[in-house]
Structure 1
Amino acid sequence: WGRGPTAKLGDEVKNENKKPLPKKFDLIITAKAFGDNAERPIPVRVGNEEQTLVLGHDVSTITLHFNNPTDANTLVIAPPAPVSTNEGNILGHSPRKLGIGMVEIKVVNVEG
């Protein structure tokens, strides 16, 4: 289990890009759920658009299709039940919240 950029700051993972995300894109997520987040809808937001993905305890790849007419530059993933744990943590470090284990995330522009 890795640590996301906002792992100890809140229940959501927020990825802010310097440039806007494409107007139309596929978000390809390879990940697995941690604990009670398995088999539950996980909201994924870009600007005002929200979709959900469902992950199990094993790694899988899911593609979400987003429209981004507002030129949003932020991607937010909000696991429903993040758990504060030391599982996989470095000895002596404070517990961190886990909701999903991200293997890879890709943004693929599908504009014409």
Structure 2
Amino acid sequence: MPLIANTPEPPYYAVIFTSLRTDIDDNGYNEMAARMVEFAAQQPGFLGVESAREEVGVTVSYWADVASIKAWKAHAEHQEAQRLGHQQWYQHFKTRIARVERDYGI
């Protein structure tokens, strides 16, 4: 996947996931994160993803519509990742969903 998602003409939706990790060293986190990107890319309505992790992790996934976002949230593998995130990987996180009305770039 490209580092910057190639999204279609708006409108579309962005799911912005910001997180602070726990002190637990990896414990399967990197493998699960890679699997989630692979699975998300196979979901109807998925448009792309961008991610960066330093002190605060930020992942933005792009979706065609709210129904696609809800279906991804309910996906069994994603639910397992959420469970593990709550139990061991994140000390704090926030998910925001926004409608993208305009985009531009070079």
Fold in common (TM above 0.5): no
Q: Which has the higher strand share?
A: 1
Looking at secondary structure, tell me which structure has more helix per residue. 2
Q: Looking at both structures, which has the greater relative contact order when contacts are Cα pairs under 8 Å and sequence separation is at least 6?
A: 2
TM-score (norm 2): 0.43
> Normalized against structure 1, the TM-score is what?
0.41
